[in-house]
Amino acid sequence: MTGANPEQVLVIGGGLAALAAAISARRAGARVTMLEAAPRELRGGNTRHSRNLRIAHDGPTARIPGIYREEEYLADLAKASDGRNDAHLSQRFVHASTDLPDWLAAQGVVFQTRGIPYSRKTAFFLGGGTAAVNALYATAERVGVRILYDAQADGVDLETGAAGPFRPRATVLACGGAQAAMQAASPRLINRGTPYALGEILRAALAQGAQAVGDADAAHLVAVDARSPSADGGIVTRVDGMEYGMAVDARGARFTDETAVTGPTRYATWGRLIAALPEQRATLVLDADGIDRAPLSVFPPLEAPTLADLAARIGADAATLEASAREAGRVTRPPFFAFPIRPGITFTCQGLRVDETARVIRGDGSPCANIFAAGMIMAPNILGTGYVAGGGMTVGAVFGRIAGEEAACHALA
Ligand SMILES: Cc1cc2nc3c(=O)[nH]c(=O)nc-3n(C[C@H](O)[C@H](O)[C@H](O)COP(=O)(O)OP(=O)(O)OC[C@H]3O[C@@H](n4cnc5c(N)ncnc54)[C@H](O)[C@@H]3O)c2cc1C
């Protein structure tokens, strides 16, 4: 890392929030340096793994069908966060989502307009988050953002904005969540996203008196295949289709009615249920019919001719597994199949309180003069400890834009 260039705005991070901030600050006239902890080939944080973002709109467009009004978006946020979101900030956020597809398109992001699942609430990136990340990096380079890779910031001074050798006039904290730190502390969990989400900047800011929002112990979890890598497995490791068979705990006992866990929130519900089991692991068991009905999986299933044999393969008790199959009534025709499951962390749910200029707020309620935050590091202001699909990307882009513009404004004043 070098501090040779006297940047006016320093952006810490390399995902959507950082890119939106860096591009906005640069377009507003500031000299910008962006620090991405990851090497170039792994740049883009969790954004790389994402697919869609949630947008309010009053009518169908080429990018999103149907109607999703601001009031409905706000109601969804209030429900998902159990009313613990910042209502004023959420209002500003939802309104700002409306012109996000146009803004992102102007920065080179391409949206998918055909062959996508119907979703009146979200717009999909063509080529997924990786394509969006690549397009935004290309734009950032083109407009003159200085991008440093392998450039992990290990702290930030909340009074000055200084970070390591850098002495900017304003600093944007856009370095995501702390999934990797949570996974390291709880190795039974799998980090679905970037291993560079260590949370050191969040901890440094909190240690200097920044106000926390959300909950340090909470995370968005989904059921993932236990054979997934400990980080960066992305979306394909998700396990689905429990309603076509049965989910059992380490002994082989069912722990919920699989058919009652439905809808788009089922992934998070399963993640939570499995994390609450004593061993934090489960197995999806399917029979010869269930395996054809369940969605395709990236990992092959374990297979056995009888339930007793399958029990031996997954380390469960044979009699318990057979009793579970009788009870469920959906696991009857051999051969039998198993997918081992662990909870996978999508993101953590503690962040920094910000105001509507994206300035970080101290414990006494006063805003930091030149420290801004965007993306997952402040998302609990909007999401609480809950989630709405596509909300993470929108928080990153909306507050990235705000933070970048405000940081530039402060730096150039
Ligand atoms: C598998 C998966 C699928 C997802 N799908 C969706 C989806 O479809 N829609 C949606 O809205 N959300 C989705 N999410 C959540 C979404 O990815 C996040 O909400 C979003 O990426 C947050 O953006 P961000 O810029 O704040 O953080 P990130 O995209 O995680 O970026 C953080 C960046 O900061 C860098 N960094 C971290 N620490 C430092 C440091 N100390 N110094 C310098 N750089 C640092 C990292 O290397 C990384 O580049 C998904 C997440 C996962 C894991």
For residue 115, the tally of other CB atoms under 10 A from its CB is 7
Nearest CA, atom 37, ligand 1: 175
Between the CA of 376 and the centroid of ligand 1 the distance, in Å, is: 7
pLDDT at 116: 80
Q: Tell me how far apart the alpha carbons of residues 134 and 152 are, in angstroms, rounded to a whole number.
A: 20
Domains of the chain: 9-211+353-412 (3.50.50.60), 222-344 (3.90.700.10)
pLDDT at 97: 98
**Contacts of range 150-153, beta carbons closer than 8 Å, 24 or more positions apart:** 150/36, 150/37, 150/38, 150/39, 151/1, 151/35, 151/36, 151/37, 152/35, 152/37, 152/196, 152/198, 152/200, 153/12, 153/35, 153/37, 153/200, 153/201
* CB 137 near ligand 1, within 6 Å: no
- The string of DSSP letters for 52-96 reads EEE--BSS--SSS-S-B-HHHHHHHHHHHTTT-S-HHHHHHHHHH
Closest CA to 329 of 244, 239, 261, 241: 244
Between the CA of 178 and the centroid of ligand 1 the distance, in Å, is: 10
Q: What is the pTM of this model?
A: 0.96
pLDDT at 5: 55
What are residue 103's phi and psi, to 5 degrees? -65, -45
Give the number of the atom of ligand 1 that is nearest the alpha carbon of residue 35: 43
Give the number of the atom of ligand 1 that is nearest the alpha carbon of residue 196: 47
CA torsion sign, 372 to 347 to 393 to 36? positive
Cα distances (Å, whole numbers) of residue 383 to 106, 203, 354: 27, 20, 13
Between the CA of 13 and the centroid of ligand 1 the distance, in Å, is: 9
Supply the angle between the helices 318-328 and 307-314 in degrees, to the nearest 10: 120
Spell out the residues 6+ positions from residue 122 whose beta carbon is closer than 8 angstroms to its own. Answer: 52, 53, 54, 55, 64, 389, 390
Give the number of the atom of ligand 1 that is nearest the alpha carbon of residue 375: 26
Give the number of the atom of ligand 1 that is nearest the alpha carbon of residue 152: 42
pLDDT at 265: 85
The tokens describing 75, both together, are 């109601």
Give the number of the atom of ligand 1 that is nearest the alpha carbon of residue 175: 34
Where would I find the beta strands (DSSP E) of 101-192? 122-124, 146-148, 170-173, 190-191
Q: Tell me how far apart the alpha carbons of residues 280 and 312 are, in angstroms, rounded to a whole number.
A: 19
* 3-state SS, residue 383: helix
Question: Please, what are the averages of pLDDT over each run of 10 residues along the chain (413 residues)?
Answer: 70 98 98 98 98 97 95 97 96 98 98 88 96 98 98 97 97 97 96 98 98 97 97 96 98 98 91 97 98 95 98 98 98 98 97 98 98 98 96 98 98 96
Nearest CA, atom 22, ligand 1: 376
Q: Tell me how far apart the alpha carbons of residues 179 and 43 are, in angstroms, rounded to a whole number.
A: 16
Q: For residue 398, what is the enclosing H or E element?
A: helix 391-412
Q: 36, 50, 136: which to mutate for ligand 1, most atoms within 8 A of CB?
A: 50
Q: Decide the pairing of beta strands 282-286 and 336-352.
A: antiparallel
* CB 390 near ligand 1, within 6 Å: yes
